[in-house]
Structure 1
Amino acid sequence: MEDFGIRDTVSAMPNAMDELEMRISQLRGRLRQALAAGERAAVPRLRAELRAAELSWDSALLESDDSMLSPPETLPAAMSLFPVREQVHQVLTVLGVAAAPRLIVATHEVLYAGGLIATKLASLRRDEERSFRAAPYARPYYICAALTADQLVGVRGLLAISTWPLDRRIMGPLSPRVDFLTAAIRLVRHLQGAGELGSQSIRLLWPFINNIPGAGSSTQEFDPSRLVAAAKAELKIHEEFDRQQREAAADRARRLPDAEQLFGGAQLKAVRSVTNT
């Protein structure tokens, strides 16, 4: 009996998906490098290529799943084929700062069509820590903790990315405000670059508008440049002192074991004992 090439097509699917996964990984790395180097002109093109590759991966996965007999349009609109950790990584990369599940979910809803549930994030950090301790650095990144500047323990409810510089994950007295202002600026720029400053995006930005002096109010028409300017103005007041505190705490944290640098759990006395040896 002829199979009309179905067997060959199915056997070719894993190879195609492997190539797509490799391309997605490469594009993410190039995007991070472009952002770090300040090559803003290349960012929109790389983002477009990354989204196209991710959509191709989604399509390949649907085609390779023999159990998926119904057409893709019967899937719930908000369902994501990416693991929760991948979805959280996407959002944190945009925000650029440690964030709470509520902001992560709200941002994902606007940028990636939703499907991320806050309750799924509750155990994510613990799962990531178990994975790291079982096989350190087996993954290209981990969803890890932000650390308090004084005790170097994990901040409850804040998620970060392990590949960030350590001082970027430290939370001093001014860090929550600095990160709030930073997230506002990065979100506006991302939404502008993607051409997605619609009503849903503006709702996502209202907490920033209402809590940053000079950014506007609910009675005014939204002006993204005004929000960015207000956030930058306040950031200048706090940023330098916050940076000094973070860097000082990061210097102490680097003396801790790798797992504790990522997930916390060390007490200050442990840092002192390592320093004195």
Structure 2
Amino acid sequence: MSDRLDDLERRIDELRAGVRKAMRARDAATARTLRAELRTAERAWDTLVSGQDDPAPADGSPAENVPDETGRGAEARTRAKGAGRGDGPRLVTVREQVHQALALLDAPAQARLIVAVSQAFFAGSIRSPQLTSLRRDEERSFRASPYGRPYYLCAALTDRLSPARGLLTVSTWPAERRVVGPLSPRVDFLTCAVRVARHLSGLPGSLPDGNRLLARMARNIPGAGDDAFGPPDPGRVIEAARRELRVHTGRDTRDRAELAKRATSQLDEAAGLFGAATLSTVAKGRSTRVMRGGR
């Protein structure tokens, strides 16, 4: 067992280093693959330490409840597993459920959208109030042990480099995707709509909750809906969303690149993920020190 643990720990260290290297090189495809392998290896380590049988493979084979690039297949694998053995799906933590939803959306998202995606596609059980303290918990964990986890759920950063209210991202995303400019909310909404529509179009059957979610999103995209009853057409939603994205993406990309450059040059690692103190907070802290006789 000791040799097996040593091998797994070495593999985990190698994978973490590989993820960081891929993200620095902005190689998103390689980073996604390595993160999936890393999660599998960490589950195998947990299983071995707890003394359970049948640890998860650490060779990079697909793990339960881990979405691929489009989030496709995770729910199907979970349901198939439960149906074959007569039991339910593996319990997934709130943190993992949020990460699943964000991996599918691939853009900063509000709590209500994260919850809706999790429930529609992954049979999630999270509720919006549970996400309130999640980012603070993630920040405390990062500050206690930087990069001790394969990913952190962190805040999107505003043009003041402070945390955007209610917007969650993933630490392994490039900095340009973790900042938001004036046009970013609209661009991210359209991006999320495309991702949801693509995911639905790839499923073998109908998914009522997913269709309802896409229908709500389509109502806010000109030309995405129609007057017919029934589920929305994912192809039409994708076409309409991309048509509007072509109008906004250029400006938004430039704004985000500038913000990302500022964040990288001005913030330390923790603030680069979770946001810097606002000017009002800094001013309040300074006034408090002056009242106490400090400098």
Worse-superposed segment, 257-266 or 123-132? 257-266
Are residues 1:92 and 2:121 paired? no
Alpha-carbon distance change, 98 to 52 in structure 1, aligned in 2, over 3 angstroms: same
Which residue number corresponds to residue 174 of structure 2? 165
- Mapped to 1, the partners of 2:140 and 2:258 lie a distance apart of 28
Are residues 1:261 and 2:266 paired? no
Are residues 1:111 and 2:141 paired? no
Q: TM-score, normalised by structure 1?
A: 0.72
The CA deviation at 1:193 is 1.3
Long gaps (5+) in structure 2: 1-47, 280-295
The answer (yes or no) to whether the contact 1:99–1:158 under 8 Å persists in 2 is yes
Quote the RMSD (CA, aligned, Å).
3.4
The CA deviation at 1:119 is 1.4
- Mapped to 1, the partners of 2:78 and 2:138 lie a distance apart of 26
Structure with higher RCO (Cα < 8 A, 6+ apart): 1
SS for the counterpart of 1:17 is coil
The CA deviation at 1:180 is 0.5
SS for the counterpart of 1:160 is strand
Worse-superposed segment, 117-126 or 87-96? 117-126
Alpha-carbon distance change, 159 to 165 in structure 1, aligned in 2, over 3 angstroms: same
- Mapped to 2, the partners of 1:212 and 1:158 lie a distance apart of 21
- Mapped to 2, the partners of 1:240 and 1:258 lie a distance apart of 28
The CA deviation at 1:117 is 1.6
> 2:248 corresponds to which letter in structure 1?
H
Are residues 1:178 and 2:216 paired? no
- Mapped to 2, the partners of 1:26 and 1:219 lie a distance apart of 37
The CA deviation at 1:195 is 2.9
SS for the counterpart of 1:16 is coil
Deviations 1:207-260 (A, max 9, x none): 221110011146555222111111000000000100000001100101210000
The CA deviation at 1:114 is 2.9
The answer (yes or no) to whether the contact 2:97–2:124 under 8 Å persists in 1 is no
The answer (yes or no) to whether the contact 1:20–1:53 under 8 Å persists in 2 is no
Equivalent pairs: percent with the same residue?
44
Q: Choose the corresponding residue for 1:235, options 242, 245, 265.
A: 245
Alpha-carbon distance change, 72 to 117 in structure 1, aligned in 2, over 3 angstroms: same
Q: How many residues get paired?
A: 230
- Mapped to 1, the partners of 2:124 and 2:157 lie a distance apart of 28
Matches within 5 A, 1:1-277: 14=52, 16-19=54-57, 23-24=61-62, 31-32=68-69, 47=73, 52=77, 72=87, 81-148=91-158, 150-217=159-226, 219=228, 221=230, 222-255=232-265, 256-267=267-278
Alpha-carbon distance change, 160 to 54 in structure 1, aligned in 2, over 3 angstroms: farther
Q: TM-score, normalised by structure 2?
A: 0.68
